Amino acid sequence: MIGENVKRILQELPPGVRLVGAAKTRTPEEILEAVDAGLEIIGENYVQEAEAAFAVVGHRVKWHLIGHLQRNKVKKAVPIFDMIETVDSMKLAREIDKICLKVDRSMPVLIEINSGEEEQKAGVFPARAASLIREIATLERVKVQGLMTMGPFTGDPEDARPYFQITRKLFQEIASLKIPGVEMRYLSMGMSNSYKVALEEGANLVRIGTRIFGERQYG
């Protein structure tokens, strides 16, 4: 079933849109089933869970970190992930830069936008995004490649549309600033219930869990 889900979603997605399989709580075997069906990017929320899956699946696929990253986990995250989608502070970016320098690589990142401006949530508020990106662009090994947003959670996908619109507009504004070293290439928005709306609003990375792997038991 997992394999069929992946194939169906891949067929549905418009050209130029990439699928991230959101794999939190899934076993390495479930992830392998998705990979065998053609899934090319795995999204993990937790470094520890990613380590277990990475040990089995390895570099056959790309790994994106889609959950909040604590600074004390950066050292473990850098060897696994091909992209960190959730950078929202200079402190975190500086730590990623430091570890990348040590192991001589660079790290593509997306800036997480708190498009609902919810104090308790991760992500930078839209009004502060451009200045944060200018600051991060001064780091040698952290490469800003776009924006990611969750939006406030509600059951109705239409409720997410305004937050996707805010993020898309910001994406275009930041692209027009032509900040040296910054590429506005990826716009990561939309989950199982909202990715169709996100696609209409310009997403080119969609993070889908439930529609691939089924309902989660926990997490």
Ligand X SMILES: *Cc1c(COP(=O)(O)O)cnc(C)c1O
Q: To the nearest whole angstrom, how small is the minimum distance from the Cβ of residue 35 to ligand X?
A: 17
Structure tokens at 27: 């076993």
Question: Cβ closer to ligand X: 7 or 211?
Answer: 211
Asked if 51 contacts 42 with a C-beta cutoff of 8 angstroms, the reply is: no
Q: Which helix (H) or strand (E) holds 92?
A: helix 90-103
Question: What count of other Cβ atoms lies within 10 Å of the Cβ of residue 132?
Answer: 18
Q: To the nearest whole angstrom, how small is the minimum distance from the Cβ of residue 176 to ligand X?
A: 27
Please report, as ranges, the residues that interact with ligand X according to CB under 6 A.
22, 24, 45, 66-67, 150, 191-192, 207-211
Q: To the nearest whole angstrom, how small is the minimum distance from the Cβ of residue 177 to ligand X?
A: 26
Question: Cβ closer to ligand X: 100 or 191?
Answer: 191
Q: Which helix (H) or strand (E) holds 186?
A: strand 186-188
Of 148, 134, 139, 143, the residue nearest 189 (C-alpha): 148
Question: Cβ closer to ligand X: 126 or 190?
Answer: 190
Question: Cβ closer to ligand X: 67 or 116?
Answer: 67
Residue 126 burial (C-beta neighbours within 10 Å; 0-12, 13-18, 19+): buried
Asked if 133 contacts 179 with a C-beta cutoff of 8 angstroms, the reply is: yes
Asked if 43 contacts 66 with a C-beta cutoff of 8 angstroms, the reply is: yes
Question: Cβ closer to ligand X: 185 or 211?
Answer: 211
Nearest position to ligand X, beta carbon: 209
Q: To the nearest whole angstrom, how small is the minimum distance from the Cβ of residue 211 to ligand X?
A: 6
Report d(CA 158, CA 128) in Å as an integer.
26
Q: To the nearest whole angstrom, how small is the minimum distance from the Cβ of residue 66 to ligand X?
A: 4
Q: To the nearest whole angstrom, how small is the minimum distance from the Cβ of residue 43 to ligand X?
A: 6
Question: Cβ closer to ligand X: 141 or 201?
Answer: 201
